[in-house]
């Protein structure tokens, strides 16, 4: 058995909710007084488990509670969980950005954390200068960066723009450069949070490949937090599922992901199970209309139908736009539609409930497709990715055999003869 390189023991982290400023001094004094007398922090016993949906009584919550796990050398350890389950807090503690309230973590190696790509990039400096800046922030020495500079630039694939200020970069280029720097760090332990959320499909693949390389070939340990199930499945050996700041399950990747996906599912088809509390508007659910399939979330390929989104609006919103994304299981988008696409105007919402409709048809092969919808009004008001997927059925008229390809369009065929056929004497 390989030796452990990370050992997390009873780690808990308490946070204070709401306004930090009010009553800070009095709480600080009480805490200090108790510490002086060797007693426990009086607010620790008040703190509650972290559940976003219920209202807190005491104003203190345990963002993490009694987390225990260990990671062996060379292992890729995944951490999954819903928003607010404590994933990011755990990574922050592991990467020494904040301290735990209780418990301890033992590490046997240099940790490099990548909680965000491009940390410390300065918009006015060129790509070259930013590589050195970012590398130094991540703990590299200048000569280390220098010796790997060409490799970094080659990996990023933006050689041409290396002397341009990064504020002129597209977001994709920015991420490419930033990830390239991070990928060339040489720590024993690499902590990564959701960095693959950006960049195009090709670059995401490259990043995943690089991370695989880091763990398998170079034998380094990776801690990986992601919502991307496919990436977790491909990369990780073991996975931990967090729920409300506690460990729900630790185990082999398939078992845990199954449990996670089961817990993520909305209770009722097409209805959102956890509504965001603090947004001006939020999506409630979706269904189809005008389709010939009996199920409210299925349609036949190529037929015209309407997809209806139910929205609750709590404040007046002017010049809104609605975006719809339909994607495959591996998150590659097959359709991106905007409410203004065809002479549609931006719309105004007042407090109340609405139905927002897209009229479309999907000439795609049969299967389940992800539905993601976003309301935009100067900024993103609400983005919802439904766990209920849109099922596309194959038409009765077509052949029943399995087809390859994303598109399912009826293609005509004819044969034209351009010269007179040569008559062959059969005798």
Partner 1 sequence: MSQHELKRTWREIITPQNNIFSLNLKEIWNYRDLLFILVRRDILAIYKQTILGPIWFFLQPVLTTITFVVVFARVGKLPTSDLPPLLFYLSGLVLWSYFSECILRTSTFFKDNNPILSKVYFPRLIVPLSLVMTNLVKLSIQLLVFLLVYICFLVKSPDVRPNAYALLFPLLILLIAGLGLGTGMMISSLTTRYKDLSHLTTFGVQLAMFASPVIFPLSGFGNGSYRLLIMANPMTGIIETFRYGLLGHGYFSWGLLGYDAACMVVFLLLGILTFNSVEKNFIDSI
Sequence-separated (6 or more) residues with CB below 8 Å from residue 378: 319
Least distance from partner 1 to the Cβ atom of residue 107, Å: 5
Answer positive or negative: Cα dihedral of 326, 330, 331, 335.
negative
Nearest CA-CA partner of 385 in 277, 203, 233, 227: 227
> Cβ distance 296 to 287 under 8 Å?
yes
Burial class of 293 by CB neighbour count within 10 A (0 to 12, 13 to 18, 19+) = middle
CA distance 50 to 66: 13
Single residue of 33, 42, 83, 96 touching partner 1 by CB under 8 A: 96
9-46 as b/e: b if 16+ CB within 10 A: eebbbbbeeeeeeeeeeebeeeeeeeeeeeeebebeee
Sign of CA dihedral 17, 22, 28, 30: negative
Q: Of 133-141, 258-266, 355-363, 409-417, which segment contacts partner 1 by CB under 8 A?
A: 133-141
Report the residue number, 122 or 233, with the smaller CB distance to partner 1: 122
Query: In the bound complex, what is the minimum distance in angstroms from residue 120's beta carbon to partner 1?
Result: 5
Size of the site for partner 1 (CB under 8 A): 47
Q: Which of 108, 329 has the CB closer to partner 1?
A: 108
The residue among 194 and 243 lying less far from partner 1, judged by its C-beta, is 194
Note whether 271 binds partner 1 by CB under 8 A.
no
The two tokens of residue 87 are 């994933």
Side-chain-facing half-sphere of 244: CA atoms under 13 Å: 9
> Can you tell me which of 142, 205, 361, 378 binds partner 1, judged by CB under 8 A?
142
φ, ψ for residue 281, nearest 5 deg: -150, 150
Q: How far is the CB of 44 from partner 1 (least distance, A)?
A: 11
Smallest separation (angstroms) from partner 1 to the CB of 57: 20
Q: Applying CB under 8 A, does 198 fall inside the site for partner 1?
A: no
Q: Interface with partner 1 includes 125 (CB under 8 A)?
A: yes
Judged by CB, which is closer to partner 1: 96, or 378?
A: 96
Q: How far is the CB of 79 from partner 1 (least distance, A)?
A: 17
* Axis crossing angle, helix 142-156 with helix 171-183, rounded to the nearest 10: 130
Query: What phi-psi label fits residue 202: left (phi over 0), alpha (psi between -120 and 50 degrees) or beta?
Result: alpha
One residue of 87, 92, 244, 272 binding partner 1 per CB under 8 A: 92
Q: What mask, x for binding partner 1 by CB under 8 A, covers residues 143 to 172? A: ----------------------x-------
Please choose, out of 50-58, 136-144, 297-305, 400-408, the segment that lies near partner 1 by the rule CB under 8 A: 136-144
Tell me: does residue 132 bind partner 1 (CB under 8 A).
yes
Stretch of 24-32, 240-248, 255-263, 398-406 contacting partner 1, by CB under 8 A: 24-32
Is 186 an interacting residue with respect to partner 1 (CB under 8 A)?
A: no
Residue with smaller CB distance to partner 1, 225 or 282: 225
Among 40, 124, 401, 423, binds partner 1 (CB under 8 A): 124
Residue 8 pairs with which residues in a beta bridge?
69, 105
The single residue among 17, 136, 271, 328 that binds partner 1, judged by CB under 8 A, is 136
- Cβ(243)–Cβ(85) under 8 Å? yes
Cβ-Cβ contacts under 8 Å for 113 (sequence gap 6 or more):
91, 94, 95, 97, 190, 191, 192, 193
Q: Is residue 97 a contact point for partner 1 (CB under 8 A)?
A: yes
Contacts with partner 1, 101-120, as mask; x by CB under 8 A: xxxxxxxxxxx-x-xx--xx
326 counts as binding partner 1 under rule CB under 8 A = no
Should residue 25 be labelled a site residue for partner 1 when binding is judged by CB under 8 A?
yes
Site mask for partner 1 (CB under 8 A), range 48-87, x = bound: ----------------------------------------
Q: Which range of residues in 74-82, 131-139, 290-298, 358-366 is near partner 1 by CB under 8 A?
A: 131-139
Residue 417 structure tokens: 């003869």
Query: In whole angstroms, how close is the CB of 150 to partner 1 at the nearest point?
Result: 19
* Binding site residues, partner 1, CB under 8 A: 7, 15-16, 20-21, 24-25, 28, 92-111, 113, 115-116, 119-120, 122, 124-125, 129, 132-133, 136-142, 165
């Amino acid at each position: 058995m390989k030796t452990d390189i990370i050992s997390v023991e009873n780690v808990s982290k308490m946070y204070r909710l709401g306004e930090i400023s009010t009553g800070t001094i009095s709480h600080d004094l009480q805490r200090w007084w108790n510490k002086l007398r060797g007693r426990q922090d009086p607010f620790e016993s008040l703190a509650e488990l972290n559940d976003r949906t219920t209202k807190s009584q005491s104003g203190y919550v345990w963002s993490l509670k009694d987390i225990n796990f260990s990671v062996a050398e060379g292992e890729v350890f995944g951490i999954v969980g819903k928003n607010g389950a404590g994933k990011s807090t755990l990574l922050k503690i592991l990467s020494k950005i904040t301290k735990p309230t209780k418990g301890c973590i033992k590490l046997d190696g240099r940790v490099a954390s990548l909680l965000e790509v491009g940390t410390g990039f300065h918009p006015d400096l060129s790509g070259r200068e930013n590589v050195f800046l970012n590398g130094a922030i991540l703990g590299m020495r200048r000569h280390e960066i220098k010796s790997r500079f060409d490799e970094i630039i080659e990996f990023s694939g933006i050689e041409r723009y290396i002397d341009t200020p990064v504020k002129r970069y597209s977001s994709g280029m920015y991420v490419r450069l930033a990830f390239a720097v991070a990928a060339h760090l040489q720590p024993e332990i690499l902590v990564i949070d959701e960095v693959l959320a950006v960049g195009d499909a090709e670059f995401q693949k490259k990043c995943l490949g690089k991370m695989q390389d880091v763990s398998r070939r170079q034998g380094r340990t990776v801690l990986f937090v992601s919502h991307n199930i496919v990436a977790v499945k491909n990369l990780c050996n073991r996975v931990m599922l967090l729920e409300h700041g506690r460990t729900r399950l630790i185990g082999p990747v398939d078992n845990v992901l199954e449990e996670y996906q089961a817990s993520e599912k909305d209770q009722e088809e097409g209805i959102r199970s956890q509504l965001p509390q603090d947004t001006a508007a939020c999506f409630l659910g979706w269904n189809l209309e005008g389709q010939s399939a009996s199920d409210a979330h299925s349609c036949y390929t190529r037929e015209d139908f309407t997809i209806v989104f139910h929205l609750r609006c709590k404040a007046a919103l002017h010049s809104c736009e609605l975006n719809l994304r339909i994607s495959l299981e591996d998150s590659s988008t097959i359709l991106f539609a905007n409410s203004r696409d065809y002479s549609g105007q931006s719309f105004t919402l007042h407090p109340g409930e609405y139905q927002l409709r897209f009229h479309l048809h999907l000439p795609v092969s049969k299967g389940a497709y992800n539905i993601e919808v976003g309301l935009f009004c100067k900024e993103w008001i609400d983005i919802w990715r439904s766990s209920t997927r849109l099922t596309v059925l194959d038409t009765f008229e077509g052949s029943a055999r399995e087809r390859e390809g994303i598109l399912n369009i009826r293609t005509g065929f004819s044969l034209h003869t351009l010269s007179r056929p040569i008559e062959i004497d059969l005798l």
